[in-house]
Chains A and B, each alone.
Chain A
Amino acid sequence: MAAPELLSDEGYRADGRRPAELRKIRARMGVFAQADGSAYIEQGNTKALAVVYGPHEMRGSRSKALPDRALVNCQYSVATFGTGERRRRPRGDRQTGELALQLQQTFEAAILTQLHPRSQIDIYVQILQADGGNYCAGVNAATLAVMDAGIPMRDYVCACSAGLAEDTPLADLSSPEEAVGGPRLVLALLPASGQIALLQLSARLHQERLEAVLEAAGQACRALHAVLDRVVRERLREVTALLGD
């Protein structure tokens, strides 16, 4: 058996997408009533849930409170049933810890934390089903959840991954594509300003190609932004209709 091809000569990926195409996105905001904000997103088979509490007073040790801005506290986890093989993952292992930290950095950059000094914002992200681009789905869900909670942000944070097949950049990698093991770039972008909240690269990528891959990831993030924006407006219309009654 030959190794799997990322991109056929005809220009189709194994799942039928073209290089720049994203997987199908479905999203909902306000899935839980008791949390301050919540959202659910599906990107292909990757499903993520995000819940936001806050801003509220500091819990636990008050000494951690920051005098000039709010503390963003993030947790990231993958459900035991989220992968093909059921596996218990106690939180706090190195990988999820690192991803939680990245999530925190991403949202500290996006949320206007200085509006809520000495308070805390909690973001909990759980991946219900993992099929590639888990972190990105988590960020996108969290953006919607933060908006649902009504916390002021600079902009949307849209995250998307991109890879490389020979010379062609591929947007939004699925798990079989990630498994091939090429370079993978994860970008979290504030689309309106074009500012980068997070940029991560795993495996080697030659400098000459960085620009092309980054551009593909940026395009994908902007496309994602359009979808998320539609979801937010839809939600807004629903809520205002309710209020109007």
Chain B
Amino acid sequence: MLTSRTFLKRTRAGAVVKVVREHYLREDIPCGAAACRLCPPRPAGAGRGLEAQPSGAASSLCPGPHYLLPDTNLLLHQIDILEDPVIKNVIVLQTVLQEVRNRSAPVYKRIRDVIQNPEKHFYSFTNEHHRETYIQQEQGESSNDRNDRAIRVAVKWYSEHLKKIEDEEKIQVIFLTNDRTNKEKALEEGITAYTCEEYIKSLIANPDLVDRLACVSDEGKEIESGKIIFPEHIPLSKLQQGIKSGVYLQGTYRASRDNYLEATVWVHGDAEENKEIIIQGLKHLNRAVHEDIVAVELLAKDEWVALSSVILQDDGQNEDDIENEEEKENILKTSVNKDMLRPTGKVVGIIKRNWRPFCGMLSKSQIKEARRHLFTPADRRIPRIRIETRQADTLEGQRIIVAIDGWPRNSRYPNGHFVKNLGSAGDKETETEVLLLEHDVPHQPFSQGVLSFLPKMPWSITEQDMKYREDLRHLCVCSVDPPGCTDIDDALHCREVENGNIEVGVHIADVSHFIRPGNALDEESAKRGTTVYLCEKRIDMVPELLSSNLCSLRSNVDRLAFSCIWEMNHKAEILKTRFTKSIINSKASLTYAEAQMRIDSTTMNDDITTSLRGLNKLAKILKKKRIDNGALTLSSPEVRFHMDSETHDPIDLQTKELKETNSMVEEFMLLANVSVAQKIYEEFPEFALLRKHPAPPPSNYDILVKAAKSKNLEIKTDSAKALAESLDKAESPEFPYLNTLLRILTTRCMMQAVYFCSGMDNDFHHYGLASPIYTHFTSPIRRYADIIVHRLLAVAIGADSTYPELTDKHKLADMCKNLNYRHKMAQYAQRASVAFHTQLFFKSKGIVNEDAYILFVRKNAVVVLIPKYGLEGTVFFEEKGKPTPRLDYNNEVPSLTVEDTTLHVFDKVKVNIMLDASNIQHQKIRMVLVEPKV
């Protein structure tokens, strides 16, 4: 049963209590080497372990077979190298893993993935629980030193242990560390140790790996001129003290998009004042990078500045040109209004770096044969990064990914290393890839593991599937969708029943039947969270077999569905609601236009058409009710590209047109969502997944109210109902487009709707729909939230069994967080995709003049909307190399006077649109005012 083991006490004297933990040391932990017969066999399913005959790159430093053993810092910094398929047979110690886990979650995740990969032969050795490799912290030894020693002890144990294996070829263990003192100590103890650079450079036939080597060299041996540019960062322990005592403030660093010498820090915490702190000047920015968590010290009040509206781009090629920078910093300080001054500070230390790999392009050094080049990220908030590469010629003009390794005090730019080449810039595939990467959209093809959970084809409905299902194949169900839609997730039916009432059914694809909780398919979908629709492609949340075939409610095939069936009277009042899993057979899949045509047609009187007419009639009543309740009808310009069928280049732009049938389908989807929300909340008050839309704070409406006032209209914003009514009244006979503009503005005032778990919140209200409770049920093919709601509802009606994660509100809350993040990112990616295609469109179209309306007025620009293309753009009045025109901004009546022309909100103007391709990374649409001429 239990082997008797040495028993040790590990005492950790904290500030308050003495904690005593038991620590059992074992003798049965395998060393992981395949040839080892001394160790007990490894448990099944724990990876493949180390190879008996280590394959992998041959090294000139150690020609014999060897295993590698990296230390913590090496693993943290050189994970890109370790992930390369060439590097195999690596021992990862538990000490190292624990340190990595505490210091960087992403790297921890990556190394875990590598250990899981059977091809890589990585083995994690639990040295802290092994009798011969566990060491105690000595008096006066720091925990870092103790860990370093533990690693060395483990290396020593390994080399002795492997010697005992009687094999012809002795396998060596090579300790990799970049820490000089650690390496010296190791060599003293008779351990073969190399730095990562030495080892990688010694690899025969893999010169390209050197490029990926992160350049974190020892501080002392910088090749750069010894000039220190930046002040030192204060160590973390002191920062924490300072934050507690209030000397420093902790916040998220946000670099300015337009000015590389300026940034703001969002201070965490409740204090209303000092929410945002301005940082200005290279020295004060002190090597912080966008999104880092930093500590800031406030400057004295007389040093406070205002945010400058100057646009400055970092284009210096010469890196040592510091004097130049000071000149530029002086530009910022001119013309400061006294009451515009805001808290200003300087970065004194970094609490947590938030570096990720960045997309961008190489700016090749002008010196021939140079190895060091600057990399310009696509995101302008990220500083340029210095990388070392020998393939600059091939990388020029390509989109590449680069990771930052560090930022020494004497370097103007951070150091980084090349990770991956995406393809040539401007290329549609490359740009899409960049867009997806920058928005963190998981878009890799589904792995074999995921696909293995798909049903086997040919698939048919079995007896088993029929068990909890109602057969609704006799009903006259049809679907209405946009043209070209292949993932049909909803279908409708409507019929009169004997008692004169109307039965309406909404049938939703039963995705949760195919995606079972907890398997790889489910995990992948949960991770993706949503399907992302780009202009020319769709990044599916579930594999295509499901999204376009088995789950898609196509016409004239039997499909599994989840149905929500109401009995209503002719006033569209719900008398009875019923949910059931079902089998349906859609009679027709129509487009919005086809459905509209059937409704309007006087000659057609078949089942489908009468059913559509019934639905349409009820939808109108439902809509009226909803609007009477105070639901908002908002407007946002949506565009659709007509694509060339072969080149997939956009050939025309068109704003989406809304038909009566769009709103008909929408109305029943809303109704189904509300009914389901009520049901699952009633059944599971603690862990129903719901969606809420918080009411915006009144100050959000300021801009709308002011803009309306300038047109002598009054917008009431005290409640959603008042807002909806005043928007309806806001009409101007000579200006029919005004109402749409007002609605677009209103949309901009709104908050973001979010998913949440009912047990973790108490405000459920959906402001935009004026519904006390709401969820998402109707699109399980493209939204993961709907799958969870389906599962909850299935449990509620007894059609499926529950599983542990479903009833854990903390897990559900975490999931909501991920879903909200994915939805936001998907939206941004969609917008970026539209922007990119707009550019392509105008590239082919050349320069055009179009009518536009002014949407917002800014201090030095106006934002205009071009209704024809649904395109929004900014018209600047300042230009490089030209004298700045006289600008006069009026905040009360939003207007801007340029020289002698005054521009108001909602003014109709004419603009000239063209593509500005002067910067290949940031091609953009440029607009110039044509009428009125300024």
Contact = CB atoms under 8 A, between A and B. Distances in A.
B112 interface: yes
Contacts of B7: 24
B24 A16 contact: yes
A92 B190 CA distance: 63
Contacts of B105: 2
A15 B21 contact: yes
B23 A84 contact: no
A9 interface: yes
Contacts of A16: 23-26, 128-129
Contacts of B25: 16
B427 to A, nearest CB: 40
A11 B2 contact: no
A176 B20 CA distance: 10
B102 A1 contact: yes
Sort chain A's interface into a size bin: 20 to 34
A31 interface: no
B387 to A, nearest CB: 31
A84 B126 contact: no
Nearest to A207: B802
Contacts of B19: 84
B807 A10 contact: no
A211 interface: no
A14 B94 CA distance: 11
Task: Output the residue of A8, A22, A45 with the most chain B CB within 10 A.
Answer: A8
Given A15-B23, A84-B17, A8 B43 contact: no
A17 interface: yes
A1 B18 CA distance: 20
A86 to B, nearest CB: 10
A99 interface: no
Contact of A12 (B22, B129, B804, B808): B129
Interface string A11-44: 1101111000111100000000000000000001
Interface in A71-129: 84-85
B1 A2 contact: no
Contact of B20 (A22, A45, A207, A209): A45
Given A2-B102, A24-B5, A206 B802 contact: yes
Interface of A is mostly: loop
Contacts of A206: 802-804, 807-808
A226 B1 CA distance: 10
A17 B129 CA distance: 9
A15 B129 CA distance: 8
Contact of A22 (B2, B17, B128, B804): B2
A161 interface: no
Contacts of B23: 15-16
Nearest to B20: A45
Interface in B790-829: 801-804, 807-808
Nearest to A17: B24
Interface in B121-149: 124, 126, 128-129
B2 A10 contact: no
Contact of B124 (A10, A44, A207, A223): A10
A125 to B, nearest CB: 22
B46 interface: yes
A131 interface: yes
A131 B20 contact: yes
A143 B94 CA distance: 40
A245 interface: no
A174 interface: yes
Interface in A205-238: 206-209, 223, 226
A9 B18 contact: no
Residue from B18, B20, B808 with most neighbouring chain A CB atoms (10 Å): B20
Contacts of B102: 1-2
Contacts of A44: 22
B101 interface: yes
Contacts of A21: 2
Contacts of A9: 112, 115, 124
Given A45-B22, A85-B16, A85-B17, 10 more contacts: A2-B105, A8-B94, A8-B126, A10-B124, A16-B129, A24-B5, A24-B7, A131-B22, A174-B21, A209-B804
19 contacts: A2-B101, A2-B105, A2-B108, A8-B94, A9-B115, A15-B23, A15-B24, A24-B2, A24-B7, A24-B22, A45-B20, A45-B22, A84-B19, A131-B20, A174-B21, A176-B21, A206-B803, A207-B802, A208-B801
